[in-house]
Amino acid sequence: MNPQDFKSFWKSKYPEALPIGNELKSIYKKRWFRIHSLPESKRYAESETEYQIIFDRQNQLIKDVFGDEEIILLIGLYVNDLTNDNYKEIKEFSEFEKVETIELHKIRPEENEENFNLDIFIKRTNWKPNKRNEILKAIANDEIRMMLICPAKNRIINPYDGGLDIILETEEVKNSFKEKYTEWLSNHPKGL
């Protein structure tokens, strides 16, 4: 999938949303659920044992949701991210292709300062469990943001510091995954 194909895919499957991970849960509420990466909804790991729990849970869920299908790794860099050393540490960043610059200050002027843009980059790959744990760790430590998208299944996983937001193709599919991963769900009434 090249950048133009990705733009077409996004516009056809997610027309109400920008490719901004933390916004998807409110736009696609019926298809969204969240799992927590650590027991008792603990937000941050404090030991290598806890990091291993994060890796085990996230790799299991990612593989279960995407299977062996090709996925897209998506990085959205805001103006202040362009000089952020955390993104430079992603070994494969040179293999990402720029899709577009979204001029957020024009789309949402009431929320964004002049010249506040979001650059979207993608990379095609397959998920291999435990091969990208350094990226999962950086996300868990709130050092970077990255979305995982499976165009073939119309599924998205948005890891964040604390867990994974999952957007599935239908509410029925979401409910079956929620049932399967019920022990990892939040006790919060809104699923947060």
Residue for token digits 């996925």?
Answer: 71
CA 110 to CA 98: how far, in whole Å?
Answer: 26
Residue 85 has a pLDDT of 64
Residue 93 has a pLDDT of 53
Residue 24 has a pLDDT of 95
Residue 81 has a pLDDT of 64
Residues of the chain with confidence (pLDDT) below 50? 91
Residue for token digits 């009431």?
Answer: 110
Residue 111 has a pLDDT of 75
E-only strand ranges, the chain: 32-36, 70-78, 97-102, 118-126, 147-150, 155-160, 163-167
**Pair 122, 72: CB distance under 8 Å:** yes
Taking CA 67 as the corner, what is the angle to CA 54 and CA 76, rounded to the nearest 5 degrees? 60
For 152, list phi and psi in degrees, rounded to 5: -60, -35
